[in-house]
Amino acid sequence: MTQLSILLHPDPRLKKVCTQVTNIDDSIKKLCLDMIDTMYKYSGVGLAAPQVGILKRVVVMDCSEEGEKNPIILINPEIVWSSEENTKFEEGCLSIPEIREEIQRPSVVQVKFTDINGILEESNFEGLWSTCIQHEIDHLNGKLFIDYLGPIKRSFITKKMKKYKKDINKK
Ligand code: ZN
């Protein structure tokens, strides 16, 4: 498996709406496995394909307790129902390192997706899993978690990230 490099905000590719996967061929299967590898390497709980520069509707995630591994692959995920009740979680993003902000989202969501074998599935997600899948599906629509913040806070973070990217390029 190959570890992929992660795009950092701001990057125009992180603002694009991704296309549906129509055929789960070997290249998609390899992408999924590489994304899982990459997510674990950076200790993330979720990763969306646009974060590695592939503008396709593919998400991997694993919000298991530490020490456990239960990765799931969601191809063309779509929220079909969300609860009226909301929960706040402190979110972070591998594309926006060192930034954490509390975001409010529906507590439970029902998601339709295709698995790596091409089988259509539907699952309910709650707790951290719910926040994570909503965060990842947002990525597929070119939306970042900082887009839920006010414009001042958001531009402050973007400025900070531009500096961060400059600094790591110097190293
Ligand atoms: Zn993210």
Q: What is the pLDDT of residues 8-34, one digit of tens each?
A: 999 999 999 999 999 999 999 999 999
What is the 120 CA–ligand 1 centroid distance (Å)? 24
Q: What is the pLDDT of residues 34-81, one digit of tens each?
A: 999 999 999 999 999 999 999 999 999 999 998 899 999 999 999 999
What is the 132 CA–ligand 1 centroid distance (Å)? 8
What is the 135 CA–ligand 1 centroid distance (Å)? 6
CA dihedral 158, 164, 170, 171 (to 10 degrees): -150
* pTM of the predicted protein model: 0.97
For the chain, the first-to-last Cα distance in angstroms comes to: 27
* Catalytic-residue membership of 98: no
